Amino acid sequence: MKLTPDAAGTFAIAPTPFHHDGKIDETSIDRLTDFYAEVGCEGVTVLGILGEAPKLDAAEAEAVAVRFVKRAKAMQVIVGVSAPGFATMRALARASMEAGAAGVMIAPPPSLRTDEQITGYFRQAVEAIGDDIPWVLQDYPLTLSVVMTPDVIRRIVMENPSCVMLKHEDWPGLEKITRLREFQKDGSLRPLSILTGNGGLFLDFEMERGADGAMTGYCFPDMLVDVVKLSKAGQRDLAHNLFDAHLPLIRYEQQQGVGLAVRKYVLKKRGIIASSAQRKPGSVLSETAREEVDYLLSRLARIDKRADLELRSSAAE
């Protein structure tokens, strides 16, 4: 089932699991996919920036994408296809769609500056992959250094009918969501799914501003699922209560470089992936950092039992 502007809910950004020797861990891919389905994710996004995608060669990237797609069953899989050149982007996009992916995600290359360069780039990208592939526009200035105004996003969406979703992770970005939803009210922007990233750091208010859900890699996607649902059900206080309990850990995971290490450490502790190894150049948690994460988990567990990992953890060592 292909991605549409109606997409909503929680799309987990999946890390790529590796063995200690750097080989791809396919068994963990399967378990991770099953886990996302069990906790209620509507989709999975693979080979994103935090999925260590650039560290895979072309054949590996395709193999990882296909493995996730095959296992995902009912869940939609979005494949990150950002690449320095269109030939590579096209090859991965078409292979992923043939395998059954729901859509692809494209980030702008860091060299783009002007509004014209940005809109021109996405026109060419769509020409390259083909206009039959639904795609997600990734708006992530903090990491990519490309700044897209609401106007520019509207132009991209209106010029490219196959663009069906915005991965919103501008920072600050709350007013941007409001502005885009206003564009839709005044009829100048067609329907567009908006899922939010930034590690979930602003998910509580993003939902209230009009986001359709979350697309991020926080190590408790189960919490993302709950907050998205509570918020949509108008349970403002309950949504914030749960969110705030997780915020100290969300915040800790937000540290660039360290974030992925925390994420893999917790997913391993939760028994979902076999190893927290990253491919080089990667980051590792110091013993002090691991103790800090454990402390945050123990504090979180007083409110959210899913964070009570001590037994499982010691068993997993």
Distances (CA, A) of 196 to 15, 57, 191, 208, 281: 17, 28, 16, 12, 27
Task: Considering the complex, state which of residue 75 and residue 95 has its C-beta at the smaller distance from a second copy.
Answer: 95
Nearest to 54 by CA among 30, 90, 96, 89: 89
Q: Which residue has the tokens 């296809």?
A: 81
Pick 8 or 250: Cβ nearer a second copy: 250
Among residues 75, 194, 192, 183, the alpha carbon closest in space to that of 139 is found at 194
| Integer Rg of the chain from CA | 19
Instruction: Report how far residue 4's alpha carbon sits from residue 43's, in angstroms, rounded to the nearest whole number.
Output: 12
- Identity of the amino acid at 313: S
- Bridge partners (DSSP) listed for residue 175: none
Q: Which of 1, 74, 114, 234 binds a second copy (CB under 8 A)?
A: 114
| 215 known ligand binder | yes
- Give the contacts of 77 (CB within 8 A, at least 6 positions apart): 43, 44, 45, 46, 65, 68, 69, 96, 100, 101, 102
Instruction: State in angstroms the smallest separation of the CB of 54 from a second copy.
Output: 4
| 162 is a site residue for a second copy (CB under 8 A) | no
Site track for a second copy across 49-68, x = CB under 8 A: ---x-xxxxxxx--------
Q: Give Cα separations from 311 to 195, 237, 256, 316 (angstroms).
A: 34, 31, 29, 9
Question: Please, what is the minimum distance in Å from the beta carbon of residue 147 to a second copy?
Answer: 4
Count of beta carbons in the 10 Å neighbourhood of residue 43: 25
Is 251 a binding residue for a second copy by CB under 8 A? The answer is: yes
For residue 163, the cross-strand partners are 135
For the segment 170-199, give every residue that binds a second copy (CB under 8 A).
171-172, 174-175, 178
Site size for a second copy (CB under 8 A):
62
Per-residue binding string, a second copy, 69-88, x by CB under 8 A, is: --------------xxxxxx
| Binding-site member from 257, 305, 315, 317 for a second copy (CB under 8 A) | 257
Backbone φ and ψ for 167, nearest 5 degrees, come out as -90, 105
- What φ, ψ does residue 129 adopt, rounded to 5°? -85, -20
d(CA 203, CA 193): 15
Choose one: 107-115, 161-169, 211-219, 220-228; the region binding a second copy (CB under 8 A).
107-115
Q: How far is the CB of 88 from a second copy (least distance, A)?
A: 5
Q: If binding is defined by CB under 8 A, does position 127 make contact with a second copy?
A: yes
Report the residue number, 3 or 166, with the smaller CB distance to a second copy.
166
Question: In the bound complex, what is the minimum distance in angstroms from residue 146's beta carbon to a second copy?
Answer: 8
Binding residues: 215
Positions in the binding site for a second copy (CB under 8 A) = 52, 54-60, 83-88, 90-91, 110, 113-117, 120-121, 124, 127-128, 146-149, 151-152, 171-172, 174-175, 178, 201-202, 204-205, 208-209, 240, 244, 247-248, 251-252, 255-258, 279-281, 286, 288-289, 292, 299
Binding residues for pyruvate: 215
